[in-house]
Amino acid sequence: MRWVPVDPEGTSPAWPFTISPVSSPEQASVELPRPEVTEYNHFVIVPVRGQAEPPGGARGAPGQYRVVFVLGVPGVSSVASDLNVASLEAAGDSLILSEGGAEVDLIASQDQSAWILHSNAQGHLSHAEITLRDSNMGAAEQHAHDQVMVILSRLAFEANTAVEVKATIVTELATGTFSVGAMLVGKLRPLSHTIAGNMNPELSPLLATYRDGLSSTTPLYQALAFYRVTEGVHGFHLKTTRAAAKAGVTAPADPLAASFPGPGDIVTDIDALNPAEYGQFAGMPLREVWESYREPLRNAIAHISPGRDAVVADRLNDVNRCLEAIPVLRYIARQALKAEIARADAGP
């Protein structure tokens, strides 16, 4: 048997990897290089016997799935340096004690599913496991996520303590095909040049919010933080433009007038953006791309309003929308902030 890693679309990844075949998929380990920035990574491992892939390939086929949500303590075990599936489940932890007779008796929202909450050797709630029938691997993960996260949110409220999922493992029981997703630590980054310039007061909240977005492991907050950075730059540009008009001088250039890169453009690795994945934005002004996220993402994250859909962490579709948007919002925030720093360095 050989193990072939593929992405959710069924193609082989372009990055280097090593696979360690073992007796069962749950014990396989995948060693990966660090991503450019700390971010969520998702991989699917398909067992190939001879030349034949299992029915359904990387997407899976209708049948039984086992989904495991490995818990972590925020700020302590939020980010993984590798995805060793053999030890990932055993490494689950939380600040919720499940010993001492406490019981959880909540009804799952699907009839054909069974789930259980596990504890580690210290008696801490460590991982949630759900088994269900579904049409494919993605559907199984979504339905399991939308069931289990509601339960975890309730438990976090009752215990009044933070809890997060640091990894998700989905296994197609009939074939052994499995996926693993987790937040992976990014590369070490040297400072490539001497840092010098003017630190005017308007830069401080922008830089703080950008750093907060980079440091967060919560997709919803990351998306919101990077959106807010651009929002701040936009606000300062309007202010300086009005001041210039009042003074009768030339207004500074719009930092959001630059074009979003296309598939053929070269983007430096520090920007952590693959333009080929966002061809719908190629050539558009950064402002238009940024504004396209206002209602469906920014406002939906920031507000819970009656009669309007909110983006919440308990729904996998909402989380995935944020994960897809983060590279774009981070890129725009970075370009806008670079322009604002250059304007500050140039002086009045």
Rg, C-alpha atoms of the chain = 23
How far apart, in Å, are the Cα atoms of 41 and each of 71, 171, 182, 236, 289?
17, 17, 6, 35, 24
Domain final position from 117, 150, 184: 184
- Asked whether residue 196 is assigned to any structural domain, the reply reads no
The DSSP secondary structure of 276-329, one letter per residue, reads GGGGGGTT-BHHHHHHTTIIIIIIHHH---TTS----TT-HHHHHHHHHHHHHH
User: What type of residue is 10?
Assistant: G
Q: Domains in the chain: how many in total?
A: 2
Q: From 129, 157, 184, give the residue that closes a domain.
A: 184
Do 156 and 267 have their domain in common?
Answer: no
Residue ending a domain, among 149, 184, 219, is: 184
Residues 117 and 37 in one domain: yes
Judgement on whether residues 165 and 240 belong to the same structural domain of the protein: no
Nearest C-alpha neighbor of 56 from the set 159, 149, 134: 134
208 assigned to some structural domain: yes
**Locus of tokens 């948007």:** 325
Could you count the other beta carbons within 10 Å of the beta carbon of residue 294? 12
Could you write out the DSSP letters of every residue in 75-124? TTS--BSSEEHHHHGGG---S-B--SS-------S-TTEEEEEEE-TTSB
Contacts of 245 (CB under 8 A, 6+ apart): 251
Same domain, 221 and 253: yes
Provide the pLDDT for residue 5.
34
Shared domain check, 336 and 208: yes
Low-confidence spans in the chain with pLDDT less than 50? 1-28, 101, 103
Whether 211 and 296 map to the same domain: the answer is: yes
Domain residues for the domain of 297 are 203-346
194 found inside a domain: no
The confidence score (pLDDT) of residue 14 equals 32
23 domain residue, yes or no: yes
* 292 is a domain residue: yes
pLDDT of residue 212: 95
State both tokens at 229.
Answer: 């950075």
Both 172 and 243 in one domain: the answer is no
How far is Cα 227 from Cα 215, in angstroms, rounded to an integer? 15
What pLDDT was estimated at residue 78?
Answer: 77
**Residue 197 placed within a domain:** no
From residue 159, how far is each of 55, 96, 139 by CA, in Å? 43, 7, 30
Q: What is the pLDDT of residues 168-196, one digit of tens each?
A: 999 999 999 999 998 888 888 887 667 76
User: pLDDT > 70: what percent of the chain?
Assistant: 84
Of 122, 66, 52, which Cα lies nearest the Cα of 91? 122
